[in-house]
Structure 1
Amino acid sequence: MDRLKQGGFYLLKSHALCQLQDLGRFGVAGLGLTEGGACDQQSAMLANMLLGNVAGAALLEIGVGGVSLRAQANTYISLTGAQMPFLINGQPAPRYCTIAVQSGDLIEIGYARAGLRCYLAVAGGFLVPTTLGSVSTVLREGVGGLNGGALADGDWLAVHPCEAIALRSLPYESQPKFSAVTALDWIAGAQYDWFSQEAITRLDQQLFRVTKQSDRMGCRLSGGKIKVKPQAQMYSEGVCCGAIQISNDGQPIVMLNDHQTIGGYAKPGAVSRLSLNALAQCRPGSLVRFVKRDLCDVQAKAARQREWLARLQQEWQHKA
């Protein structure tokens, strides 16, 4: 099909941290493939909800910023997540709202002023072939996206034909905020007893700094050493998103969406999915602290978040 007749966007400026994502690729860990997906799920879901898309529609995750696109369709877009300068035809555009764009419009996203990752969604989602049920890009595995790689200058992103949709916005007071210190809720895991109470207290009471070695696979932290009790050899086992691995140097690594499927480091527990959204926005040098929670507390907080998103969706649908 002719590209201009189909409609879409030309990527004028891109880089390795600009990737196609959805909510992830599940049920494939037995094949050695990780889940991938948007690191900040809440921001990705809000970007799609603002356009009336399904929560898992394909969108762009843009790390750091510095991306520009040329629209070749009359459609609607939204931008959420990190605070990045957002311009359409050189004029500032608002985040967390539905924006109409016309064929020929220039969309520019500058470098992040706060946070690390933003999410650009389009009405109906980007038209991308799925791999094992998902468009999520995992560079290490060479799957998802366009031919398994990051997006590059000159790439074409097709979109669905679009009719007029309702204009929606999320009030500023409801938009996620960025803190000087990010609190990470976590729950105990299988090797919790491999750590002394002193080690657990140290994990919870000190501040850790996000290092430059962090990426979509894991967030590497630096701080006081967390010691593991002398144990028999730790064998490799399944690793979940959010797992807190204590490396040989005593520093925590929190597994993110592109984490390996198995690992051999001891893990006191795992960070909650909601806290991973906040961690995904922490740039190198940011401070984080761990807060141990009971499972029921974490589940209750997640339930309240789901209820808020459901109410928001119903409200927007009612106004459509």
Structure 2
Amino acid sequence: MTTIDADVVVAARSARLARSAHRSFIRRFLEQRVAVAAAAVLFVIVLIAAFAGVLAPHSPNAQNLRLVLKPAGTPGHLLGTDNLGRDVLSRLMYGARISLVASAQAVGVGVALGFLPGLLAGYLGGKIDWIVMRIIEAIMAFPPIILAIAVVAGLGPGLTNAMIAVGIVFAPRIARMTRDATLGVREETFVEAARSMGLGRATILRRHVVPHILSPLIVTVTILAGMAMIVEAGLSFVGLGAIPPESSWGTMLSGSIRFTTNSPLLIVWPGLCIVVTVVCLNLLGDGIKDSVGREARKKVGR
């Protein structure tokens, strides 16, 4: 059998194993009712955010000073109005869009900055690994919120800049996770076989390493997405995130804190949305982690 034929056989076998592993993972994940329920809730939140323009009963910035601080249940305003007479439900729907996009931006920046260095450090080792780890340790030595505030202060206020700052904070954690996962995969038999057949490093990483570290990466992304939402709310609360009249959940918290005496529910709604979304993201991450973990334990047992 020629080298090319062997390569084709190994690639086909790897593809069959990958499809089998994916089916097993989906089956195990569907057995976890809590994680499935969390995924369903997140799906509904994403749908509401995507179709906020259709579902929202009012414009999120439409003011009516005759209907200031109306309680929940007011005709035409299911969750009441804020201090400027804006519909709370509509602002929550549009706020979901802004908060989810902001969270995705932060995680995207973190993956873009941290994934490749972690992958190369874990696979190549040696000086590359040493340099990457020293950079990671230097960045992680700073308190995350202080580092994020420093980046925002340098780039200027605004939601995008705030999420870039959060992504920079997340990048070392993603790089370390990717490195650790790659260290475990690079010594596997199928990687050794690919090396012995003369495949290049780029091909081995693309075909054999990256597909096997996607599951822990997804777990990390779900957890960091929840953290990003909390950090975005905190930065918006202190005026370093979304700029009013943008109706992110963080800005809604910031704008309603002064009216807790007259309208206590005004601060409850955005806080509840943040809590539900973050909890569901963490439950989803736990479900994925448990499914992957059980597969890993089965492999070790065999």
TM-score range, shorter chain: under 0.3
More helix, by proportion: 2
Greater radius of gyration (CA): 2
Q: TM-score, normalised by structure 1?
A: 0.24
